[in-house]
Chains A and B, each alone.
Chain A
């Protein structure tokens, strides 16, 4: 029997928020573009959780809304509906002043196009020092730190060159240094290796890993590159503006002591209990309109409506 005291205690307990303990939280995020009178729903209720210090890859077909998501998370765009917070900053309700602080101190951003990340009329060092000056770090301290960052990412030798005189891979690494200039909590990279050959891409990805490892920055990177996706622990796939599935890679130690890389597939379950099946499953089993489900002891089974194990009598016919 619940007493009044119990109820009061229950009411006083803070309501558990979706992913309250995660570093990046997207809850039912919606972004609608309005262009020439046509509405494009780029994000249609996307959910995503990323823990602090994680390195997460984001994959998905072209036009699935990856860039849209990253722009919102970087504070460059605002969502139409839903909730999003990064390192405790609510991206929806943020005031202009907080947004500025967020861009300066919380988030760093790297675009796909090498030419879009850097000011062409400033050399590499100045490019790194500019965001520092916006955040209030100036003078010799800024210059020293910028040099160290470039050195750390393997581009210390090009600090007095202008972007036009850098290779694409060097430009992207300098861009990562720029994004890291103010020691942000999170680094967002939108296809940073998209324009690069595989060797340069590997170097750039190494730089991201370095940032994640050495500086403890949470990294969310959009990529099409399977090689890149294969190197991160967690890969999130987006389909039609929603997170559809997740692959988590880990090392499993077998009974005989041998180590084996395993990749487990996950799909997202939203708060209403809806889940989206991976497209290839749907195709392979020709799932349409209606599927049959059954709850077993520790899992749920799904069959095409026509097929499946011999149907059990419906509960109402039984009674």
Chain B
């Protein structure tokens, strides 16, 4: 008695006999599942990184969400004695209260800055300029990035002040030196309005900033120039002229500021700024759009007002602040950064959808090829089963079980591997990207359905073959259908554009386009192929060489690769070319953006005197230093002043002897050259573009030679590869400079935009698609191996050498390979045009305008050559397999 039924035994034996191909299917399914489950999440993590980079960069520039209060009074002691600074905590959390719980941690610890207007300072020993007293503002800042070091005295004491006490203030050492301040000195600060009572303040200490140059601190010191050192400027007009006066800022405690506010508000408004820096570490790409919406809601006037309503004309009470009516404003200056990111991500996902869809199609076709080979080489058994009375349904059931045994574990293993991979190196919070659900389902369904489906197709009775005319008509109908679908998909994508796209995710419509376009390419190829073969055959006949004649004659009976092979090649190459095109366009646009900077490096700041310029010129790698200064040329009468840029002509001439601007400025004999902006071309503008700032070349501006004795405010440096840190080291430490180099700018653009995730998806898709394509080609060749083997062995009996058999296969495959390479490359180059408005790269490149798509013909040609090489490799693998008798027997078709 035998164990189990004979049919179970048969199914098991058949499973074992098909083991190699079924394992191949399992690997294909497993890899696809892994790729689908891990890919979007990995790309999303790179998106997170890009978001954090750009938010961090924006935060360094002081962007975030901020609340400004036109402050009339402060109840610093309201929260109780001891630490008045904490009186603000309640208010800041009250500001955040309306935000949803997930968004609150993304707004980090707020910083509070309260500054009085400038007031006239008076003290016995105070230095004056031409008898004009300096102006001083008092400021409370709860956080000074980089910290302060007190060199004399102490910081203004934290804690409540006695009523009518003197306000403690601290000044920087530079301020002390310019204004001749001493510790313990009492300074009277008067608002300047007649009848107002001055406030009295006492100097309690002098500080030096510990660090002003690191990116995190530079922005603060740039925004607080008076705190570091007094800045001379023009004062209010008095007796017909405006004298030069010194302005400085001093620090005080929260209580000190509360005490001085009533007196200061007579001079103007006391400004309170509460800045919520966005916490990049707490943000995820997935939540960026929602966060942006929340920030938008927060700035909406209808947003929960944290102030108690006041009767008409009366001040409002906002926490501890007494605020002028309507004086509370909430701004989310980080919102544009987030919005740009969200747009960029949607743009990137258009490209990603495209690449992933091409890849998924290639994977599915490969799976189909494997399944077809599996079922096809059992064709004889299928006939025998049917002759012995098996029902089609029964045969399908056996194959369905085979499919399930292969698919389910492969899916599970792929998915679990992906989970483990993602778990490894995970830290929260993290974006997970679009869910892989329906893609996994598609792979699973394909794995389950292909084997029984092909079994069904293979066991249909073929006795009533359709007439050739009917076959021709059917083929035409299919081709027309594919063409119409492709045109419809492209047209509807064109009209729809990028709007209506989910923020991130695989868009079904965009996914459909590459598949349809690839199918159109394959359909055209199947039509062109016989024509090309006919030509090749005629050519070979004239050459009278046996192998090509035999090869082309045999290939005429059907392309060696079949429709599936051609489709795979076209899709893979189109995906590769398109992906390369996009990444090239993006990185190229970044380089372009960096080239907008006037020089390889630009230094901006005060005090760029000849000694400093010499230091800069001595830095390694620096070739030329061109000084520039932004000025205003007063307009006559009612015309407004004109922006004017002074350029060091001699240095410009040295750096670029052919410069038209230099020659215009030098005047070439025709007096001192004042060049109107309209006379300049784009190439002339490059060197002054930094000074122009946001000014568009269309606005009127002038360029003049830099006066001999004056110090420039900008140094444009020629010297590729000059390093930012070396430049910074050469500059005086006590002044804040902004330094921009092309290298860091490109890097910043590459990392803060989504270039990394774009690259990852493009490269991963390219690599996987190539691997799948190779597998599909080998499987397709194996499917034709039987008839080819018969033909070759027949030719062998007539004296064909075995090496010639391989070269015959190669010669046979060359025409379809070349055609596929042409079609794929052409399609890849055409895709951007076909996608039309759905393909946008403006936000990804970070540029002001939509970038021009860069077609790199050399790379495209190389990729096309790669496809041909891929086909040759597949041919070599096939003939290698054929030589291995044992393997050949495993994969062999049973001969009839």
* Interface of A toward B, CB cutoff 8 Å: 33-35, 37, 74, 76-78, 100, 103-105, 109, 113, 115-117, 119, 121-122, 125-126, 129-135, 138, 140, 142-143, 178, 182
Contacts and interface: CB of A to CB of B under 8 A. Distances in A.
A186 to B, nearest CB: 14
Given A76-B386, A119-B384, A130 B13 contact: no
Given A130-B388, A133-B5, A134-B388, A116 B380 contact: yes
The 7 A-B pairs with the shortest beta carbon distances in the complex, nearest first, are A104-B389, A121-B13, A134-B389, A34-B465, A131-B388, A129-B6, A37-B468
A109 B2 contact: no
Interface string B391-422: 10010000000000000000000000000000
A116 B468 CA distance: 31
28 contacts: A33-B465, A34-B466, A34-B468, A35-B465, A37-B468, A76-B386, A77-B461, A77-B463, A78-B461, A78-B463, A103-B386, A104-B389, A115-B894, A116-B380, A119-B381, A121-B17, A122-B9, A126-B6, A129-B6, A130-B6, A130-B7, A130-B10, A131-B388, A132-B6, A134-B391, A134-B394, A135-B389, A138-B5
A122 B468 CA distance: 40
Given A78-B463, A126-B9, A140-B1, A103 B389 contact: yes
B544 interface: no
A122 B6 CA distance: 9
B386 A133 contact: no
A74 B7 contact: no
Nearest to B472: A37
Interface in B770-793: none
Contacts of A78: 461, 463-464
B389 A182 contact: yes
Interface string B447-464: 000000000000001011
A119 B384 CA distance: 8
Contact of A119 (B5, B10, B394, B461): B10
A156 B22 CA distance: 35
A174 to B, nearest CB: 13
Which of A33, A129, A133, A178 has most chain B Cβ within 10 Å? A133
Contact of A131 (B5, B17, B389, B467): B389
A3 to B, nearest CB: 49
Nearest to A72: B463
Given A34-B465, A121-B13, A178 B389 contact: no
B372 to A, nearest CB: 21
Given A116-B896, A121-B13, A133-B5, A103 B387 contact: yes
B14 interface: yes
B476 interface: no
A113 B894 CA distance: 12
Contacts of B896: 113, 116
A33 B1 CA distance: 46
Nearest to A36: B468
Contacts of A113: 896
Contacts of B6: 122, 126, 129-130, 132-133, 138, 142
A40 to B, nearest CB: 11
B390 interface: yes
Contacts of B394: 134
Contacts of A77: 461, 463
Contacts of A117: 384
Contacts of B389: 100, 103-105, 131, 134-135, 182
Contacts of A100: 389, 391
A301 B347 CA distance: 94
> What's the dominant secondary structure at chain A's contact region?
helix
A143 B388 contact: no
A103 B384 CA distance: 11
B579 to A, nearest CB: 42
A74 B464 CA distance: 17
Interface string B359-397: 000000000000000000000110110111111001000
A129 B387 CA distance: 14
A78 B6 CA distance: 30
A182 B13 CA distance: 23
Nearest to B14: A121
A315 B571 CA distance: 82
B18 to A, nearest CB: 10
Contacts of A142: 6
Contacts of A109: 387
Contacts of B386: 76, 103
Interface string B332-366: 00000000000000000000000000000000000
B458 to A, nearest CB: 14
A19 B894 CA distance: 41
A129 B353 CA distance: 53
Nearest to B389: A104
Contacts of B9: 122, 126
Given A121-B13, A130-B7, 8 more contacts: A78-B463, A103-B388, A113-B896, A131-B388, A135-B389, A140-B1, A142-B6, A178-B388
Contacts of B381: 119
Interface in B214-242: none
B14 to A, nearest CB: 7
A143 B4 CA distance: 12
A118 to B, nearest CB: 8
Contacts of B461: 77-78
B464 A76 contact: no
B1 A143 contact: yes
B227 to A, nearest CB: 88
B2 A143 contact: yes
Contacts of B894: 115
A315 to B, nearest CB: 49
B387 A76 contact: yes
A14 to B, nearest CB: 31
Nearest to A31: B463
A33 B463 CA distance: 8
Contacts of B14: 121
Nearest to B462: A77
A152 B455 CA distance: 36
A77 B465 CA distance: 12
A126 B387 CA distance: 16
B7 A133 contact: yes
A133 B6 CA distance: 7
Contacts of A122: 6, 9-10, 13
Contacts of A116: 380, 384, 896
Contacts of B464: 78
Which of B14, B463, B465 has most chain A Cβ within 10 Å? B463
Interface string B462-492: 0111111000000000000000000000000
A132 B5 CA distance: 11
Nearest to B469: A37
Contacts of B465: 33-35
A130 B7 CA distance: 7
